[in-house]
Amino acid sequence: MKTYNAPADVENKWIVIDATDVVVGRLASYVAKRLRGKHRADFTPHIDTGDHIVIINAEKARFTGNKLRDKTYYRHTGYPGGIKETTAGKILSGRFPERAIELAVKRMMPGESPLARQQLSKLRVYAGAEHPHEAQKPESVDFASMNEKNQRVD
């Protein structure tokens, strides 16, 4: 039996997902799968067969439970004792709320490899409802209605 290799010139779709009241972890899992191309029948682990994903309304995404208060993100400045921490609530209510979704998707991608970085470069996240990718004619995916657990209602 021969191993199937996807062709190098794979046609990638453009997808728009509205993140209004959507649970961040479930959205990140779905987006990571689409970025890698695992939804396709011709998935090949070492070839980028994923789609371009545009996420709008990232500032309206939701965390479940107490994650807004308890989930902590760490970064280091590079200087001794330079560890900094922030919570998910501060990120979503701050200047760049799209970083919460970007970090969640990045951490669901496989390792820190050149292929993962290439696949992650196809992700575009915008805080508001406007995006500059109308020329690519993206198709809209209603992620919130795929499963009742995808949407958080307070």
pLDDT of 3 > 80? The answer is no
Percent of the chain at pLDDT > 70 equals: 98
Model confidence pLDDT, tens digit, residues 106-117: 999 988 899 999
Question: Residue 7: pLDDT band by 50, 70, 90 thresholds?
Answer: confident
What pTM, to 2 d.p., does this model score? Answer: 0.90
User: Within 13 Å and on the Cβ side, how many CA atoms surround 94?
Assistant: 12
Question: Residue 65: pLDDT band by 50, 70, 90 thresholds?
Answer: very high
DSSP code per residue over 32-101: HHHHHTTTSTT--TTS--PPEEEEE-GGG-B--TTHHHH-EEEEE-SSTT-EEEEEHHHHHHSS-THHHH
β-strand pairing of 83-87 with 14-18: unpaired
Measured CA to CA, the distance from residue 86 to residue 80 in angstroms comes to: 18
Give CATH superfamily name and number for 14-145: Ribosomal protein L13 (3.90.1180.10)
pLDDT of 29 > 80? The answer is yes
Model confidence pLDDT, tens digit, residues 80-96: 999 999 999 999 999 99
Q: Which amino acid is at 49?
A: T
Q: Which residue has the higher pLDDT, 10 or 69?
A: 69
Burial 103-126 (b: 16+ CB within 10 A, else e): ebbbebbeeeeeebeebbebbbbb
Structure tokens at 26: 């479930």
